[in-house]
Amino acid sequence: MSQRGRSIGRTPRRTPALIFAALGDETRLILVARLSRGKPHSISALTRGSKLTRQAITKHLRVLERAKIVRSVRTGRESLFEFDPQPIEEMKTYLNLVSRQWDNTLSRLKSFVES
Amino acid sequence: MADRIEKRIELAAPISRVWRALTDYREFGEWFLVKLDGPFVPGQVSTGHITYPGYEHVKWEAVVQKMEPERYFSYTWHPYAADPNVDYSHETPTLVEFTLEATPTGTLLTVTETGFEKVPAGRRPDALRMNDRGWTQQIKNIESYVAKRP
């Protein structure tokens, strides 16, 4: 209830759940892989070489956009999509820190039970 | 991208010794660096405060889930609920699980922490700051420890 309440507004809170859900699909992972090479792509370019329709690709891009993994930039008449590594980096950094915290805690446990 | 943490560590101590270190609240506090108010009881809230230097103001609060003697111990908690002015109780906690297995030389301990996809993004900056300082300090501790015992 409160979680949902806080998400309403112009800039919804970006939760890790959104990122994980966005990446939990093969088509979207392929799209992210293509975009993560750095160059922005148009929807047409992303549809070429895919079995999916332009409409389907657009839908997947919107999911990635909501998770802020990609963003669209307008150039002239066309929307280009580009990769934003920050949300994924943030999650990785967070989990790495929790992971290191456990390493320290467990090494204290080791000294404790082995002494 | 993995949304869980899993650690495995070999301990040169019998499983009964490791079980006691994990589930006796005073022993747990010795290595986890927390002063607990009372014993762990499944289904009940465990309270206390962190004793790690510099973080004594941080409260410990967890809900003990399961205790299966010498095999499995679990609790849920809010990782790095460090800001005393923030009420974390409505947030979905993460689940910490300890699993013990006897080995020829002692005990294999597996620790998993899951449920990070539910940790609100808004809390992460604070968690990072706390953690970063903690880690820097820990490195110094390890360095001075190693220096004393070459």
Cβ distance A94 to B127 less than 8 Å, yes or no, reads yes
Show the tokens assigned to B113: 């922490």
Better pLDDT: A89 or B139? A89
- Portion 37-96 of A in contact with B at CB < 8 A: 88, 90-95
CA pair distance B97, B13, nearest whole angstrom: 19
B124-148 vs A86-114: helix axis angle to the nearest 10? 40
Q: How many domains does chain B have?
A: 1
Mean predicted confidence (pLDDT) in B84-90: 63
Domain containing B76 equals 4-148
Q: How far is CA B131 from the centre of its chain?
A: 13
- Which chain B residue has its CA at the smallest distance from A18's CA? B117
The residue with tokens 């993460």 is B94
pTM to 2 decimals?
Answer: 0.67
Assembly ipTM: 0.74
B27-85, pLDDT tens digit by residue? 999 999 999 999 999 999 999 998 988 778 888 889 999 999 999 999 998 765 555 66
Cβ distance B116 to A113 less than 8 Å, yes or no, reads no
Amino acid B89: pLDDT: 65
CA pair distance B46, B29, nearest whole angstrom: 12
Amino acid B121: pLDDT: 52
Using the Cβ of A102 and the Cβ atoms of chain B, whether some distance falls under 8 Å is answered with yes
pLDDT band, residue A94 (cuts 50/70/90): confident
Q: B6 to each of A71, B3, B31, B109, B125, how far by Cα in Å?
A: 33, 10, 19, 10, 23
- Mapped onto helix, strand or coil, the DSSP state of residue A114 is helix
pLDDT band, residue A16 (cuts 50/70/90): low
| Nearest CB partner across the interface for A101, out of B9, B118, B134 | B134
SS (H, E, C) B85-104: CCCCCCCCCEEEEEEEEEEC
Cβ distance B17 to A105 less than 8 Å, yes or no, reads no
The CATH number of whichever domain residue B71 belongs to comes to 3.30.530.20
Contact B77, B94 (CB under 8 A): yes
Amino acid A8: pLDDT: 30
